[in-house]
Chain A
Amino acid sequence: MSENKEKTYIRSHEPVFWGLFGAGGMLTAFLTPVMILITGLLIPLGIIDKGNFNYQTLHNFATTWFGAAVILVLVALPLWHTLHRIFHALHDLGVKRGRDWQMVFCYGFAFAVSVFVFTLLLQMF
């Protein structure tokens, strides 16, 4: 028993990614199925009137601050969720090489797409 002195603890930055993962997980679980149902089934089957989902109405929706925020959140958060899961799945599968690069690639991708969607929405105004 020689461990008398306090060892140094390194704080993990995981809370940031876990927070995004959790928020994205909620959306993925609750809203994605609804969106798939509407856009993938109900509209093609004609149960919901296509007229409400033409380019012009959607464009109008996307160019309000509220609509833009909703679209950004719906695209970005599930993406952070997915890439966090992929990053950890790589570890679970035993892919040990280049964890740093895996991290940069996974979260970098989520970040890049988030920024891309953000600018895309912004330039539509």
Chain B
Amino acid sequence: MSKPVETGQIIDIDILRYRPEEDKKPFTQTFEVPYTEDMSILEALQHIKDHLDSTISFRWSCRMAICGSCGLMVNGVPKLGCKAFLRDYYPKKISLEPLANFPIERDLVVVMDDFIKKLEEIKPYIIPEKTGDKKCLSEGPHKQTPEQMAKYKQFSMCINCGLCYAACPQYGLDNKFTGPAALALLARYNRDSRDFGEAQRMKIVNQEEGVWGCTFVGYCSVVCPKGVDPAAAIQLLKVESSKDYLIGMFKPE
């Protein structure tokens, strides 16, 4: 990382800290960070860790909005640390907190286990037609038209950052709700022409904890850094679930 140009300007950053072995409860610590226009919040955190307090914990990897590890609350709004910049807040103070709706593991690091479990539960892989009819690798790739791909592409752009879960009031109220990213991922597979797992996944969708836990607040789509629009995916699935309900009335299993 290149050394930032010193301008003498300072920005105050409040960080919610929690070290389970010594703190009874989280507390706020303020750091003074030299301000430069092109500094991201993640870089500010790295400056703090390198120069001010090496005990501070936060997650990051790619620094380019791809890995999805650096999610945190910036002034109460879920953001990627590497995609949010000091210049959008300066000269005001910035407050950093761990992602809302998740338990804190340490400082800005949250426990993501429930989120990962939700992603796994929706069968996030292509389910082939019938095991017997499985197309062999030697028979070449499964081709798709641009139209077939357009049906799911947007929903496949998720980087699993969890910002939408921090934004979702329904997940905050009741974390049994499958939640935005997992449902968008589910839509991504159900809408893929190569996939035949729709019937299996609709059982997840049709539950109260499936799409029906959503009341179309839409904040998930506002905070999503990759334009996935999980709220739209859920609305599409609600229509599918309603069709499935009608069919189910005439053809009970």
Contact = CB atoms under 8 A, between A and B. Distances in A.
Interface string A27-69: 0000000000000000000000000000000000000000000
A12 B212 contact: yes
Nearest to A8: B203
Nearest to B243: A15
Q: How large is the interface on B (under 10, 10 to 19, 20 to 34, 35 or more residues)?
A: 10 to 19
B208 A92 contact: no
Interface in B226-251: 238, 241-242, 245-246, 248
Nearest to A93: B173
Nearest to A9: B203
Interface in A1-32: 9-16, 18-19
A4 to B, nearest CB: 13
B169 interface: yes
B215 A92 contact: yes
Interface string B195-229: 00000000110111010100100000000000000
Q: For A12, A19, A92, A94, which residue has the most chain B Cβ atoms within 10 angstroms?
A: A12
Given A16-B245, A92-B173, A11 B206 contact: yes
B242 A9 contact: no
A5 to B, nearest CB: 13
A27 B245 CA distance: 23
Q: How large is the interface on A (under 10, 10 to 19, 20 to 34, 35 or more residues)?
A: 10 to 19
Nearest to A10: B207
Contacts, number: 36
Interface in A53-109: 88, 91-92, 94
Q: For A14, A18, A91, A92, which residue has the most chain B Cβ atoms within 10 angstroms?
A: A14
A69 B40 CA distance: 61
A11 B245 contact: yes
B210 A12 contact: yes
A11 B212 CA distance: 10
Contacts of A88: 215
A105 to B, nearest CB: 19
B241 A9 contact: no
Contact of A9 (B169, B173, B206): B206
A18 B241 CA distance: 11
B214 to A, nearest CB: 10
Nearest to B174: A91
Given A11-B248, A12-B212, A94-B173, A18 B238 contact: yes
Contacts of A15: 212, 238, 241-242, 245-246
Contacts of B169: 92
Q: For B169, B215, B248, which residue has the most chain A Cβ atoms within 10 angstroms?
A: B215
A18 B243 CA distance: 12
A12 B246 CA distance: 12
Interface of B: 169, 173, 203-204, 206-208, 210, 212, 215, 238, 241-242, 245-246, 248
12 contacts: A9-B204, A9-B207, A11-B203, A11-B206, A12-B210, A14-B208, A15-B238, A15-B241, A15-B242, A18-B212, A19-B242, A94-B173
Given A11-B245, A12-B207, A18-B242, 19 more contacts: A9-B204, A9-B206, A11-B203, A11-B207, A11-B248, A12-B206, A12-B208, A12-B210, A13-B245, A14-B208, A15-B212, A15-B238, A16-B245, A18-B212, A18-B238, A19-B242, A88-B215, A92-B169, A94-B173
Interface of A: 9-16, 18-19, 88, 91-92, 94
